[in-house]
Amino acid sequence: MEHAALIILAIALYLSASGAFSLRLVRQDRAPAAARPAALGLGLVAIMLHAVVLYGQTVVPDGLNLGFFNAGSLVTWLMAGMILLAATRRPVENLAVVILPISAGALILSAIFGPVAGAEESMPLGLEAHILSSILAYSVLSIAALQAVVLAYQDHHLHNRHPVGLVRLLPPLRIMEKMLFQMLWLGFGLLSVSLLTGVLFLEDIFAQHLVHKTILSIAAWLVFATLLFGRLRYGWRGRMAIRWTLGGFVALMLAYFGTKLVLELILFR
For the stretch 43-100, pLDDT in tens is 999 999 999 999 888 877 666 777 778 888 999 999 999 999 988 888 788 889 989 9
Q: What CA–CA distance (Å, rounded) separates 67 from 58?
A: 9
**What's the whole-model pTM score?**
0.84
Contacts of 35 (CB under 8 A, 6+ apart): 20, 23, 24, 27
Which among 85, 80, 82, 110 is positioned nearest to 97, based on CA atoms?
Answer: 80
- CA-derived radius of gyration, the chain: 19
Residue pLDDT, tens place only, 158-216: 776 665 556 666 777 888 899 999 999 999 999 999 999 988 888 777 765 668 888 99
2-27 helix and 35-58 helix, angle to the nearest 10 degrees: 150
3-state secondary structure of 60: strand
pLDDT above 60 for 266: no
